Amino acid sequence: MPTKSDHQREGARTPSRPRAAGRRRSRVNLADLPCVISMDRAAEILGMSRSAAYRAAQRGELPTFWMNGKRKVPTAPLLRMLGR
């Protein structure tokens, strides 16, 4: 029968998802967002990595368009995705 590790015995909780080193999620006031945001900002709002946001855009799950050679995310559809 497997025994509990020291970590489990002490009752410590494990995080549901590890965060990348050096990245902190900040509180975002969604009402103050401009009408178009960067992919990095959209990823932060959605709680995903930058590469995961680009993959979601490639699959058509995250609406994007090109502006001045950069991929941008319109805020209105993003807010609808979040149920706001």
pLDDT attached to residue 44: 93
Q: Which H helix or E strand runs over 36? A: strand 36-38
pLDDT attached to residue 30: 78
DSSP alpha helix (H) spans, the chain: 6-9, 39-46, 50-58, 75-81
Is it the case that residue 16 has pLDDT exceeding 80? no
Give the C-alpha separation, 81 to 61, whole Å.
10
Task: Read off the pLDDT of residues 20-69 as tens digits, 9 standing for 90 and up.
Answer: 544 555 577 778 889 999 999 999 999 999 999 999 999 999 999 999 99
Please, what's the b/e burial string for 35-53 (b: 16 or more CB within 10 A of its CB; e: otherwise)?
A: eebebebbbbbbebeeeeb
Task: Read off the pLDDT of residues 55-79 as tens digits, 9 standing for 90 and up.
Answer: 999 999 999 999 999 999 999 999 8
Structure tokens at 49: 């990595």
